[in-house]
């Protein structure tokens, strides 16, 4: 089939939303589908890094000053999304896709508008929800509580759009089902490319290459360095750990870097914390390979899945995280689930593995084995079945 993917974001950037969009598209391409991605004017060109025929088409660079790559709302995105409607309409009219696949609530709304502008084409729309629109805006501190009700109604309206809906997490599916009563919704979890996590170099050799101090227990985090990813919990946990143990080294990868750089400088923690920003997605496996455990401090406000969890598992790492449905489903016996959502609880999880390094290794091996069940092949075939179902 011809698939027109809507990515209302600066695709490609080195973060979770983009990784899902890219790897999902690559897996569908592998099944023989023709993929076009309609997106913003900025972002990395994927064909320079990977072998693919995916056609990435961008809006005009009218907002040439807009260079924001990190997650989060911005009023200028309203203009960009209006321009993206125009671009998507043009592509839908000229490429004549069988399916419009809209990512995020904005992408679903754009897809719904274009679908009805070209109603005689009978194009089908798949809504791909990554989390709660209102929850994410609140978590970024962008939406005042008084406006929550208005945006909740907008979110419920968008949740009902599409001939079929898929979500990236069990929690998001449960949330969307509250407003979507047709039952046409399925959870399609992120996948992982395990081949990327096979190395010729040993961990100790790679630590030297990355200039990691000897004799340290390496705690890794990758992802957005913004509040709704739980980074504040991690930053507050670091001093709690270092008060008692100096044989710990924190390796943090992601962007935007400003808050972390300020934190390291103000707390004088350059000896114990390394920031890699931005962390190239294509170097992510070796970054994780040098870690001993990983942290996922994401809370529960946004109902987002945690693609980083699969990367942690593929790298063979035990994971310290909060006790959420998605985390339990992913990790099973491979995680330390904090007793509460707090910096102290995260610190306790790190201490647990510091004192039981062999258990950390065993849980890491368990996660590596379990990761084999999360390849992108199964999710792609599931999406393909949905495409065929709504086309028939």
Count helices and strands in the chain by DSSP H and E runs: 15, 13
The per-residue pLDDT string of the chain (392 residues; one tens digit each, 9 = 90 and over) reads: 999 999 999 999 988 889 999 999 999 999 999 999 999 999 999 988 889 999 999 999 999 999 988 777 788 999 999 999 999 999 999 999 999 999 999 999 999 999 999 999 999 999 999 988 887 777 666 666 567 778 889 999 999 999 999 999 888 999 999 999 899 999 998 888 888 898 878 888 898 889 999 899 999 999 889 887 889 999 999 999 999 999 999 999 998 899 999 999 999 999 999 999 989 988 999 999 999 999 999 886 655 666 789 999 999 999 999 998 888 989 999 999 999 999 999 999 999 999 999 999 999 999 999 999 888 889 999 999 999 999 98
CA separation (Å) from 112 to 78, 118, 123, 129, 179?
16, 10, 10, 14, 17
* Distance separating alpha carbons of residues 314 and 198, to the nearest angstrom: 9
Contact 131, 105 (CB under 8 A): no
The closest alpha carbon to 229, from 143, 304, 338, 314, belongs to 304
Sorted by where each starts, the structural domains of the chain and their CATH numbers stand as 2-191+376-391 (3.40.50.2000), 194-374 (3.40.50.2000)
Whether the CB-CB separation of 56 and 11 falls below 8 Å is answered with yes
Residue corresponding to tokens 């100790």: 204
Quote the CA–CA distance of 169 and 357 in Å, as a whole number.
30
Percentage above 90 pLDDT, the chain = 72
Tens of pLDDT, residues 192-238: 888 889 887 888 889 888 999 989 999 999 988 988 788 999 999 99
Q: How far is CA 205 from CA 18, 21, 211, 312, in A?
A: 30, 33, 10, 20
**Within 13 Å, how many C-alpha atoms sit on residue 165's CB side?**
31
pLDDT at 302: 54
The pLDDT tens digits of the residues spanning 331-360 come to 999 999 999 999 999 999 999 999 999 999
Contact between residue 32 and residue 56 where contact means Cβ atoms under 8 Å apart: no
């Amino acid at each position: 089939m011809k698939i027109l993917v809507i990515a209302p974001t600066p695709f490609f950037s080195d973060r979770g939303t983009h990784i899902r969009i890219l790897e999902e598209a690559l897996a569908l391409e592998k099944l023989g589908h023709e993929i076009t991605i309609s997106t913003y004017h900025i972002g990395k060109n994927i064909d320079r890094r990977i072998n693919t025929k995916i056609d990435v088409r961008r809006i005009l660079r009218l907002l040439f000053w807009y260079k924001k790559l990190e997650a989060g709302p911005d009023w200028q995105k309203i203009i960009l999304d209006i321009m993206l409607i125009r671009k998507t309409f043009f592509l839908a009219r000229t490429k004549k896709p069988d399916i419009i696949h809209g990512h995020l609530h904005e992408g679903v709304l754009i897809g719904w508008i274009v679908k009805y502008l070209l109603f005689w084409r009978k194009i089908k729309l798949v809504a791909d929800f990554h989390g709660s629109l209102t929850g994410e805006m609140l978590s970024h501190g962008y939406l005042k509580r008084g406006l929550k009700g208005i945006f909740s109604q907008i979110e419920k309206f968008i949740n009902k759009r599409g001939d079929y809906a898929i979500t990236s997490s069990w929690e998001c599916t449960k949330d969307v089902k509250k407003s979507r009563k047709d039952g046409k919704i399925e959870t399609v979890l992120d996948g992982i490319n395990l081949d990327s996590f096979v190395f010729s170099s040993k961990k100790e050799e790679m630590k030297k290459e990355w200039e990691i101090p000897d004799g340290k227990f390496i705690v890794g985090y990758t992802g957005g360095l913004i509040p709704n990813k739980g980074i504040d919990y991690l930053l507050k946990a670091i001093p709690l750990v270092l008060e008692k143990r100096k044989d710990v080294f924190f390796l943090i990868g992601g962007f935007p870097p400003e808050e972390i750089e300020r934190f390291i400088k103000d707390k004088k923690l350059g000896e114990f914390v390394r920031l890699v920003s931005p962390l190239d997605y294509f170097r992510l496996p070796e970054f994780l390979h040098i870690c001993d455990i990983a942290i996922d401090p994401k809370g529960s406000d946004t109902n987002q899945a945690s693609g980083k969890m699969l990367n942690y598992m593929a790298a063979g790492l035990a994971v310290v995280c909060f006790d959420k449905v998605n985390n339990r489903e992913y990790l099973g016996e491979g995680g330390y689930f904090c007793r509460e959502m707090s910096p102290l609880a995260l610190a306790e999880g790190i201490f647990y593995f510091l004192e039981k390094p062999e258990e950390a290794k065993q849980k890491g091996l368990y996660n590596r084995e379990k990761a084999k069940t999360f390849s992108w092949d199964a999710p792609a075939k599931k999406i393909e079945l949905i495409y065929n179902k709504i086309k028939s």
